[in-house]
Chain A
Amino acid sequence: MSIPETIPIIGASWDDVLFVLFAVVMLGSALLVVTLRDIIRSGLAMIVCFAALAGLYVLLGSPILAATQVLVYIGAISVLVLFAIMLTQTKAGPARLVFQTQWWAAAIAAIAVVVVVIGVVASTDWGAEATRLQSVTGDVARLLFSDYTLPFEAVSVLLLAAVIGGIFLAKREDRRDEAPR
C-alpha cells in the first residue's frame, strides 16, 4: 500500500502539514522556554524546540543537519544546560520575579524585530529562481573538506580553546593549604 500524495480529506500536501506541525511545536516550545517560571521545565521545552527544528531541517532537504542537530543540540548542549541549571539553582530557587522589571521594553524590542523581519521578507523578492533543492550529503562532505578547510580547522582550534577555557573557568579553585590529590 502506497502513501497518497496528498492527505485525503483536507487536500493539503504532507509537506505542508508537517511544516505547520513542526512550526507550531517549535514556536510554542520556544515561548515556553522564555516564559516558564521553573527553569528546569524551560530546559526541557528547549529540547522539544530543538527536536522540531530537526524536523524542519529534514523538510528543507538536509538530513545531515537534522542528524547534527539531534546529536549536538539535543544530545550535548541540552544536557550541558540541564547540568548547569542543577548546579546553579539555590533552594530559594524559582524566583518570585521571572522577568526583570523592564520586561515590557524587551517585549517591545522583540515585537519590533518581528515587524522588521516580516516587512523585509514581504518586501523583497528572494530571487525568482527559488525552487526546492535536494542537498546530497556526499556533496556537503566534499565541500566541507575542500573549499571550507580553513573554517573547519579554525573551528577545531576554537573547540579546543573552548574545552580548555570551560574546564579552567568551572574548575573549583584549590585551597593552598590542602594537600594536592
Chain B
Amino acid sequence: MANSLDAYLVLSGLLFATGTFGFLARRNAISMLMSIELMVNAVNLTILAFGAFLPALKDHASVIALIVITVAAAEATVGLAIVIAIFRNRRTPLVDEYDAMRQ
C-alpha cells in the first residue's frame, strides 16, 4: 500500500476535502484559516507523492514543495494579521457577522 501512488493521491484527496468542508462550514475565521492550511498540506502531499514515484519529477517535487511551504507561511502570517485587525474593529471572530460591506 505504501508502494502505490494511488494510495497517496486518494489520501491527499481526502485531506483536501476535509479542508474544503472546514473552510466552507466553519463560522470562526481562524478555523477557516486552519482549514486552508490543511488544503495546502494536501497539495504538498500530492506534489511529494508524484515526486517520489515519477522519475521525471524526482527532485523537482521537493523544491516545489519547499516553495509551497514558504508561500503558505507567508499566507498564514498575513491571513492571521487580517483576522486580528478585523477582530479589533468588530469584536468577534465569527465570519457571518462580518457584514460591513453588505450594508
Asked, given contacts A84-B80, A110-B20, whether A26 binds B15 with beta carbons under 8 Å apart, the answer is yes
Q: How far is the CA of A96 from the CA of B58 in the complex (A)?
A: 48
Q: Quick one: which of A53, A105, A147 contacts B41, CB cutoff 8 A?
A: A53
Over the window 30-49 of chain B, the binary record of Cβ atoms lying under 8 Å from chain A Cβ atoms (1 yes, 0 no) is: 11011101100100110011
B15 engages A81 (CB within 8 Å): no
B20: chain A residues at CB < 8 Å are: 106, 109-110, 113
Over the window 13-40 of chain A, the binary record of Cβ atoms lying under 8 Å from chain B Cβ atoms (1 yes, 0 no) is: 1011011100100110011011000010
Q: How far is the CA of A121 from the CA of B21 in the complex (A)?
A: 20
Asked, given contacts A113-B13, A122-B6, A166-B77, whether A61 binds B19 with beta carbons under 8 Å apart, the answer is no
Asked, given contacts A26-B15, A62-B62, whether A169 binds B31 with beta carbons under 8 Å apart, the answer is no
B45: chain A residues at CB < 8 Å are: 53, 56-57
B69 engages A84 (CB within 8 Å): no
B81 engages A170 (CB within 8 Å): yes
Using C-beta atoms within 8 Å of the partner chain, give the interface range for chain A. 35 or more
A158 engages B74 (CB within 8 Å): yes
B63: chain A residues at CB < 8 Å are: 140, 143-144, 147-148
Say yes or no for A48: interface residue by CB 8 A criterion.
no
Asked, given contacts A16-B1, A39-B30, A84-B83, whether A106 binds B96 with beta carbons under 8 Å apart, the answer is no
Asked, given contacts A34-B22, A117-B16, A159-B74, whether A18 binds B2 with beta carbons under 8 Å apart, the answer is yes
In the complex, which residue of chain B has the Cβ closest to the Cβ of A152?
B67
B44: chain A residues at CB < 8 Å are: 53, 65
Most chain A Cβ neighbours within 10 Å, of B5, B77, B92: B77
A175: chain B residues at CB < 8 Å are: none
Shortest Cβ distance from residue A33 to the other chain B in the assembled complex, whole angstroms: 6
Q: How far is the CA of A49 from the CA of B45 in the complex (A)?
A: 12
A53: chain B residues at CB < 8 Å are: 41, 44-45
What 8 A-B pairs have minimum CB-CB distances, sorted nearest first?
A: A117-B13, A34-B22, A106-B24, A162-B74, A110-B21, A106-B25, A15-B2, A19-B2
